[in-house]
Amino acid sequence: MNAFFQSMERPFVDCLLLAGILVYLGIHVLARKVIFVDLALAQIAALGSVWGALLGWDIHSDPWQIKAFSLAFTLLGAFVFTVTRMRDERVPHEALIGIAYAVALGATMLASAHLAHGAEEVSELLAGSILWVQWDAIAFAAALFAAVGVFHWTCRRRFFLISMHHGEADAKGVSLQLWDFLFYASLGFVVTSAVSIAGVLLVFSYLVIPAVVAMLFADRIGPRLAIGWSVGTLVSAIGCSLSYFEDLPSGPTIVACFGGFLVLAGLVHYVARSGAARGAALLRVGGGALAFTALAAGSFLLKKDEGHDVLHVLETGNKAERMLALAEIRADPELWTRARPLVPALLAKGEIEVRVALLDLIDARKDVTLLGAVHPLLADADDSVRDKALRCVRDLASKDSVPVLLAVAAKEEDEYLKVEFAETLLELGDARGLPVLLDVMETGEAAQARRDAWEHLHAHWTFELPYRPEAGSEENRAALAALRRAWNERGAALRSGPDGVFR
């Protein structure tokens, strides 16, 4: 439990702050029927920061300049919403707000198309990052929210009069435009700051859902506020705990909890207001819940069948699928016997990784029957396949490999592989690996390859000669010529001893 508090302390405190100010503003927003004004204001503010970034300010290193831009745009947005409110609502205000949102979002996308981090900023705005919030950001938000709260408290009569009884306020001669502007501007400040921490999704939920629940159950401001704040606090606590204990992303979890809570509240309201027909209402709710559960459970019947045939996947899958199939085959000897007929074709035509993995598998199973399919890979175009094929041939240690090894050793360009081919020949008891090593010593480009060839030769053929791998081929010419001569004279008679040395 302690770990929980330590972990969720900051997000939870931030949620409470959001609930504190947004529930209050939400009651206004609902009364004014401007539900989406917060989204629009947040988007206009985002457009402001992108505009600032376009003018050369950096979102990360010049945070204050960027904030100033988004603030200026917010004020502009507040002004636009103030002057577009028509007295006779010929065009619904909500329509204009929606339009403002769409246009601001479009403009943000347009502007960010020319901005390096544009797309990331836009998606960040949506999701928010309440998990990473730091105390200084919380303190700043708290101060701002408190200032707005105090301002609204002092002018509460005016604000509520205009929100709830618009016509009456107009008749009283209150300057509607001034107070509308003040309302939208303060809402804009709060929303912009809240969105930068919690994201649009969460801010919208805090603003609207508790206020809606409150409207269901109360008519006066006081009770509505009390209900809204309780709902906000309760859902914050549930959401934060659920996110922590079920290991889910915080913001979306809280939003989902709000949704669930609203459905519950709606049902309770429905039953409670049914009066005499309460029993029937309860029945209906129960039936509905049952039907919904059945529908949700039924959808699981549509679950995709995950059964798969490993051999079919091996034959027809893409690289990744084949690799997975091979991993399953590796673990199951019975599968291997069934897969074996497919192997030659795969070795010939499969992807590099598939071929390497198959060679590994053949090596591990010591399956000599497939040697014929492995041999061509000794001359494969890919280094790693050749290397692996050689290791496989070496471990299978069959005399059948000798003619193939001789042929590929003569053609191999990679000196180190050539040395390995020769070594394999020698291990198989065939002295014709020795002249291959001599080739490398004579013509090898890398000093290290010549050194390796020399060491292998030395280990299999006891011959004291002043060959120095570090020296150039000129200096070693005499020694190499002597070795060549010795091979030409006695090579055919050399036989491998039990210690691997040819005599």
Interface with other proteins in residues 347-376 (CB under 8 A)? 351-353
Among 124, 400, 427, 442, binds other proteins (CB under 8 A): 124
Q: Residues 417, 423, 425, 427: what is their CA dihedral angle, to the nearest 10 degrees?
A: -150
Contact letters for other proteins, residues 29-68 (x by CB under 8 A): -------------------------------x--------
Smallest distance from other proteins to CB 129, Å: 5
Q: Which of 13, 65, 76, 129 binds other proteins (CB under 8 A)?
A: 129
Query: 329 or 483: whose CB is closer to other proteins?
Result: 329
* Contact status: 328 vs other proteins (CB under 8 A): yes
Tokens 């008891």 -> residue: 429
The reply on whether position 116 binds other proteins by CB under 8 A is yes
Residue (of 378, 89, 38) closest to 198 by Cα position: 38
Of residues 61 and 462, the one with the C-beta less far from other proteins: 61
**299 contacts other proteins (rule: CB under 8 A):** no
Residue (3 or 492) nearer to other proteins, CB: 3
Residue 454 burial (CB < 10 Å; 0-12/13-18/19+)? buried
Burial class (CB in 10 A: 0-12, 13-18, 19+), 457: buried
Q: Which is nearer to other proteins, 245 or 292 (CB)?
A: 245
Task: Give ∠ CA 321-322-324 in degrees, rounded to 5.
Answer: 65
331 binds other proteins (CB under 8 A): no
Name the residue nearer to other proteins (CB basis): 110 or 283. 110
Please give the Cα distance from 40 to 175 (Å, whole number): 24
Please give the Cα distance from 361 to 391 (Å, whole number). Answer: 12
The residue among 80 and 335 lying less far from other proteins, judged by its C-beta, is 335
Residue 428 has which token pair?
Answer: 């198989």
Report the candidate in 379, 382, 376 with the shortest Cα–Cα distance to residue 354: 382
- Interaction of residue 1 with other proteins, rule CB under 8 A: no
Q: Which is nearer to other proteins, 446 or 481 (CB)?
A: 446
Which of 2, 299, 318, 462 is the binder for other proteins (CB under 8 A)? 318
CA angle, corner 92, sides to 89 and 97, nearest 5? 130
Using the structure block, give the residue that is written with the tokens 């609203």.
262
**Cα–Cα distance for residue pair 364/278, rounded to 1 Å:** 74
What does each C-alpha distance from 109 to 78, 120, 122 come to in angstroms? 21, 11, 8
User: Nearest approach, Cβ of 294 to other proteins (angstroms)?
Assistant: 25
Q: Specify whether the CB–CB gap between 349 and 377 falls below 8 A.
A: no
Q: Is 250 in the site for other proteins (CB under 8 A)?
A: yes
* Alpha-carbon gap, residue 435 to 94, rounded angstroms: 90
Minimum CB separation from other proteins for residue 446, in Å? 4
Q: Is 134 a binder of other proteins (CB under 8 A)?
A: yes
- Interaction of residue 459 with other proteins, rule CB under 8 A: no
For the CB of residue 159, give the shortest distance to other proteins in the complex, in Å.
Answer: 34
Residue 83 touches other proteins, criterion: CB under 8 A: no
Does 225 sit near other proteins (CB under 8 A)?
no
Residue 502 DSSP label: B
Helix (H, G, I), strand (E, B) or coil at 312: helix
In the numeric block, which tokens belong to residue 140?
Answer: 């700043």
For residue 502, the cross-strand partners are 496
Within 13 Å and on the Cβ side, how many CA atoms surround 245? Answer: 9
| Residue 415 is a binding residue for other proteins (CB under 8 A) | yes
* 316 scored as a contact of other proteins (CB under 8 A): no
Residue closer to other proteins by CB (options 75, 313) is 313
| Contacting positions for other proteins (CB under 8 A) | 3, 7-8, 11, 60, 109, 113, 116-121, 124, 127, 129, 131-134, 243-244, 247-251, 304, 306, 308, 310, 313, 318-321, 323-325, 327-328, 351-353, 382-384, 387, 414-416, 445-449, 451
